Amino acid sequence: MTQCPNCHAVLPEPPERFCPSCGTDLAAVPSATPPYAPPPAYPPAGYPPPGYPPGGGGYGAPPPGGQTPWERRDTLGFLNALIETTKQVLSQPAAFFRSMPVTGGIGNPMLYAVIVGYVGLFASTIYNLVFRSVLTSSLSRMGGNSDMERLASYMQGGAGLVVNLIFGPVFIVMGLFISAGVFHLALLALGGATRGFEGTFRVAAYSQAASIFNVIPGCGGLIGLVYAIVLLVIGLSEAHGISRGKAAAAVLVPFVLICCCCLGIVGIFIFGMAGALGHMR
């Protein structure tokens, strides 16, 4: 049984270059035994082993120190990898993020986040359009004054729908980098950034799986938001090897500050509108 010379975690056989637990480069550690050997081509001969997947269905949890199902989509198939990754993130977040590699590039996680996030964005955009249409009809029936008609006409505009559907992937990528940067800065301030920015980015990207809840009409957006926070806390804790409390602080403190700023802006807008309506009277 081979152990990592840094964290003493049990290494997989055959050993890989990076420790799946702490990320130590085993090739750069002279005391690492056995000496580092390049990993075999993936998938190895005889893969999958007999009895895998467990029970004959699904692909099971990602192997320790291995790749996520999404990063094995060349083997599993695009749709199977997408579904299996989403299922594991939502149903086994601790196991998924614990075995998720914190290195290997951000391209694959970002692509996953864009696909799943766009599905949720598309659903929420359509639901908002339907809601605006219903509300517009109600406003139109309330009277024929010019102010009400202008408001109804504005709410019927499809500009927001077009912008969301065309530029949605761009918004998702921008949001990923911004949120991952904020969380990583919070981790640095709390002394919890034991891994690099890439590990934080990967957690933020795979946490986009919660966007799938947006397909539920009405309360889906709220459920997705709450579950995304839960996934971020668990993911940062497992990826950086820190306590749940420190990970929660890194996620919730920026979130609370942003919510306070948004509430302040909304309050200013409401008071401004109330003042404008008072002068119109």
pLDDT in tens, the chain (281 residues): 677 777 777 777 776 666 777 767 666 665 544 444 554 444 444 444 443 444 333 334 444 445 789 998 999 999 999 999 999 999 999 999 998 999 888 999 999 999 999 998 888 888 777 777 766 666 556 655 555 455 445 444 556 677 777 888 999 999 999 999 999 999 999 998 888 899 999 999 999 999 999 888 878 889 999 999 999 999 999 999 999 999 999 999 887 887 787 777 877 877 766 666 666 55
Q: Which residues contact 142 (CB under 8 A, 6 or more apart)?
A: 148
Distance CA 215, CA 229 (A): 18
User: 233 and 244 in contact (C-beta within 8 Å)?
Assistant: yes
Entry pTM: 0.65
Q: Structure tokens of 48?
A: 């999958």
Q: How far apart are CA 65 and CA 13, in angstroms?
A: 11
Residue 112, C-beta contacts closer than 8 angstroms, at least 6 positions apart: 70, 82, 85, 205, 206, 208
Cis peptide before 39 (omega within 30 of 0): no
Bond from prior residue into 34 cis (ω within 30 degrees of 0): yes
Task: State the Cα angle at 10 between 7 and 12, rounded to 5°.
Answer: 125
SS3 of the chain: helix, strand, coil, percent, to 5:
70, 0, 30
Residue 84: both structure tokens together: 């299996």
Secondary structure class of 10 (helix, strand, coil): strand
Nearest to 207 by CA among 180, 225, 232, 188: 232
**DSSP 8-state code for residue 213:** G
Among candidates 67, 63, 61, 62, which has minimal Cα distance to 105?
67
Q: Quote the tokens at residue 134.
A: 């219903």
Which SS3 state, helix, strand or coil, does residue 26 take? helix
The predicted structure's pLDDT at residue 115 = 94
- pLDDT at residue 23, rounded to an integer: 67
The whole-number pLDDT of residue 219 equals: 85
Q: Cβ(97)–Cβ(203) under 8 Å?
A: yes
